[in-house]
Amino acid sequence: LTVPPAQHTLTPHANHHHANHLFCFAFSQLRTLPVVGGLLEDQFDTTVKMSTYLVAFIVCDFLSISKNTQHGVKISVYAVPEKIDQAQFALDAAVRLLDFYDDYFDIPYPLPKQDLAAIPDFQSGAMENWGLTTYRETALFFDPHKSSASDKLGITMVIAHELAHQWFGNLVTMQWWNDLWLNEGFAKFMEFVSVNITNPELEVEDYFMGKCFEAMEVDCLSSSHPVSTPVENPAQIQEMFDDVSYDKGACILHMLREFLTPEEFKSGIVRYLKKYSYQNTVNTHLWESLTTEQHAEEELDVRAMMETWTLQEGFPLITVEVKGREVRLSQERYLKGEDPSQTSGFLWHVPLTYVDSNSATVHRFLLKTKTDVLYLPEEVDWIKFNVDMSGYYIVHYEGSGWDDLITLLKHNHTALSSNDRASLINNVFQLVSVGKLELDKALDLSLYLSRETKSVPVTQGLSELVPLYKLMEKRDMEALENQMKSYIVHLFRELIDRQTWTDDGSVSERMLRSYLLLFACVRGHPPCISTATQLFKKWKESDGNMRSGNYTKNCTLRNYFLNDNFYIFIIWKTPTPAYELPPHVGDWGSIPALGDWLHLTLHWPNQCNHYKQILNISLSSLVRILVIAPALSGWVTPRVMLISTRLRL
């Protein structure tokens, strides 16, 4: 891993015993010849110039299905024989996506074929080996009779990510691991760009903002690191594979794209890929490719702007104060739970966007100093910065700014986009967490949610409100905890009662349904409990084969985990379809049977194909839930060696 990702060519030969054994490699097989000792030798074509970490081969007895793209590239999906019939969706998705990237980047895919291999037990989610991408089975298999819309979304996004790497990472490779984000941030960003075009029905634009919020949760801590940071040893390199490299990298690219315009941004990255094909790059090469003569005339220095986002950790809090036509702006680092003095010394070139009560036009302003002033053509009733949360920053409104926006949401919330509404919800609670606002202000804003119907703001509202009662629960503040639970149920009761327990509608509608039903059942909402009881009974009678959306199924199982966890364990420990992994227990909150579930997970039978994935998923999902972290720590500590041994199986 510490070897620089330099470019080389390879001409592999592979010897094997049995004619039915497949030796899969990135390039086309030229011939198979008998050699000494009764062996067969597969000879392959010489590769293009490529980085050695992208070389992969597979020896297997898989079956495959194939299809050609419009550009003549053969795409194949390899899988174990008994599951090859679940590979068709992945094959069709890969064909559409490779054709999209061929056209979007204006650079033909350089290899004669692209293979996707489903590995029965695979520690990584997927790997972008050039011409032979590898995946967990869960990331490729789709059963039309049992899989859900969320499965379809997940499969498509993973394939989009790995195929984007065939250009960003494979055709052009970062010079050293400090710029890993040039690979991973771009691939994450292109997931959303590509799938939004190839599969508009999946509505992926609804989920991008959530990725940025997730990155901010890590990036607002003093332990964060710059997107591009010096690394020297394997441990430091491994640490770079995190939300900062992936999600923050994608978010700052999205911010730049929206500020430059999508057309200018696309032209710049095409220039970058064409100029540096089969070469190693650093981030300055990208910024230079995105800079045009027009930018020089406008005094826009793309490199200077973006290096403030890649070479320092964190992100800015923009404070806005409106006085008549004058808008006073200031910036500081947003830092959670630390000494405020640690926010000094940071300065970003912030590409601000805003709309106001007088115009739906998106206005732009580049804030390059600690403070600045912009002037409006006329006075406004309200102003909202960071349009659609396209920028990687949060905003605080001083004076009457928050009250003006709360009034707008109360009387005409659709005057703002659903992304704008969700970003206001996020920002107001983030400001409460660092003492910039009182909780009353955030709760005043949340009152409008009783009329909200869109998935993004509703789920954001739940994600901000639910941790409040969990915090009260942890601190034994029972009266306040019950008040908060009642308040949240009251806000969403009408929307909850309108939900059906089906797996139909758009992807956003299904995801909204799943969040609401899971919340309602965990809170003991009687209609939800009644329906869950009936569905769980039917699910048991079907031996776990009843079709339902993944989140709906988790909601049902959550209610019966305590009383029927042994039955659920028996269902999942037997050979199951790849997509039937255990639910993320941590997503259910505080569970009395936590110890039982962890014991069952740790003692999963070795012969289960997905054992390591199951243990990894169960433990990692639990770690994310702060309220049960002490219980998890107490359970894990005396079992560290056993867990380590099991994960090395």
Active site residue 162: yes
Q: Is 226 helix (H, G, I), strand (E, B) or coil?
A: coil
Helix (H, G, I), strand (E, B) or coil at 438: coil
Indicate which residue of 162, 191, 258, 313 is catalytic. 162
Q: Give the span between the Cα atoms of 548 and 143, in whole angstroms.
A: 12
**Hey, how many other C-beta atoms are within 10 angstroms of the C-beta on 440?**
9
Residue 318 vs residues 384, 394, 541: alpha-carbon distances, Å: 12, 6, 56
| Residues near 568 by beta carbon (within 8 Å), at least 6 away in sequence | 557, 560, 561, 582
| Closest to 166 in 3D by CA, of 253, 235, 101, 258 | 101
Structure tokens at 10: 């390879």
Pick from 575, 577, 545, 605: nearest CA to 79: 577
Distance CA 564, CA 561 (A): 5
Q: Which residue has the tokens 């912009």?
A: 374
Separation CA 406–CA 639 (nearest Å): 50
161 is in an annotated binding site: yes
Q: Which residue is associated with the tokens 């339902």?
A: 548
AA identity, residue 502: T
Instruction: Let me know: does 299 contact 292? Beta carbons within 8 Å.
Output: no
| Cα torsion through 344, 350, 356, 360, rounded to 10 | -160
517-552 exposure pattern, b = at least 16 Cβ within 10 A, e = fewer: bbbbbbbebeebeebbeebbeebeeeebeeebbbbb
Tell me: is residue 165 an annotated ligand-binding position: yes
């079709």: which residue's tokens? 547
- 127, 56 Cβ separation under 8 angstroms: yes
Residue found under tokens 């700014």: 401
233, two tokens: 């040893």
Which residues 6+ apart lie within 8 Å of 533 measured at CB? 559
Return d(Cα 100, Cα 53) in angstroms, integer: 26
Beta strand extents in 279-387 (DSSP E only): 279-281, 316-323, 326-333, 350-356, 359-367, 371-375, 383-385
Taking phi first (over 0 means left), then psi (-120 to 50 degrees means alpha), and beta for anything else, what does residue 195 get?
A: alpha
Distance (Å, whole) CA 612 – CA 608? 9
Tell me whether residue 184 is annotated as binding: yes
Please state the residue numbers annotated as binding site for Zn(2+): 161, 165, 184
Please state the residue numbers annotated as binding site: 161, 165, 184
Annotated active-site positions, please?
162
